Amino acid sequence: MKDVKKSPLRKWLSRVITVTCIAVFVYAAYGLGEIAIDYYKNRKMLSEIQEKFYDSAHALGEVNDDGSVRSGFDQLLEENEDAVGWLTIDGTQIDYPVVQADDNEQYLTCNFYLEETRAGSIFLDYRNDIDALDEEKNIIVYGHRMKDGSMFQHLTKFLDEDFFHEHKTFTFDTLYESYEAEVFAVYHTLTAFDYIQTDFATDEAYEELLTDIKEMSKFTSDVDVTTDDQIITLSTCDYELDQDEGRLVLQAKLVKK
C-alpha cells in the first residue's frame, strides 16, 4: 500500500495545532506554578508571623487596667500597625493575625506585610471599632478559602456535625482583651441576608437577627445567646448556593476570659 502524502495545508495545520497545544500546556503549567509559589510564600510568611507572635504570647494573658495595648502584640504592631488581634481555632489551620483597614477591600488581596497575594489576610470589618469593641454587638471577621487549606478554608469542617459539637469554642485575642468564642451556628447563605449587620437601632432588631441565625444554622447548639451578648461572625466565600453571592458563616458568642 502506498503512503498517503500530507498536503502542504494539512502539514501546516498539524504544526499549528501542535504549537497551540504546547503553548496552552506551557501557559497552564506556568499558571499552576505561579499559584503553587504563591501558596508556598503565603504559608512561609504566616509561619514566620506565628513564630514571632508566640515568642511574645506569654504576655497575652495580661489585660491592662489602663486600657493600653497588651504587650504580647508589640511585635505584631511593629510589623504592621493594622494588626488588631489573633484568631485561633483548634482542629484547624486557623491560627492567624487579624488586621483591619479603612475599608473591606485592601486585605482581600494583601498579606500581613501589604504584599499582593491571592490569599489576602484575615481581617476585621472596617465598621467595627477595635478601641470600643465592648460596645459592638456583631464583630465580623473575613477571610478567603484557599485550596491548600489555609486562611478560612477549614471553616468547612464545622459543616460536619461531629466536628461542630466537638469543637464548641475558639479563641479571639484583641489588642485589649481575650475572648472565648462559644460556637452556636454554621450555615450557607447569600449576601442578601444581612448577617454582617453591625448597627442595630433597637434590641428587637438585634434579637430578630439572632433568631434568623439560629433558624438558619445546620445544627442546634445549647449556647444561650441573648440581646445582652456579643457575637463574632466568621465569613468566607462559598459556592453551595451561588458562585458569586454564596457565603459560609460561622458564628459564636463572645465571652471575656
Measured from the Cβ of residue 114, the count of other Cβ atoms closer than 10 Å reads 14
Measured from the Cβ of residue 255, the count of other Cβ atoms closer than 10 Å reads 13
Among 62, 119, 50, residue whose Cα is nearest residue 86: 50
The answer to whether the CB of 39 falls within 8 A of the CB of 93 is: no
DSSP-assigned letter for residue 138: E
Helices within 4-88 (DSSP H only):
8-55, 74-79
Rounded CA separation 234/165 (Å): 17
Rounded CA separation 74/57 (Å): 10
Reading the block at residue 61, the C-alpha cell is 494573658
* Catalytic residue IDs: 237
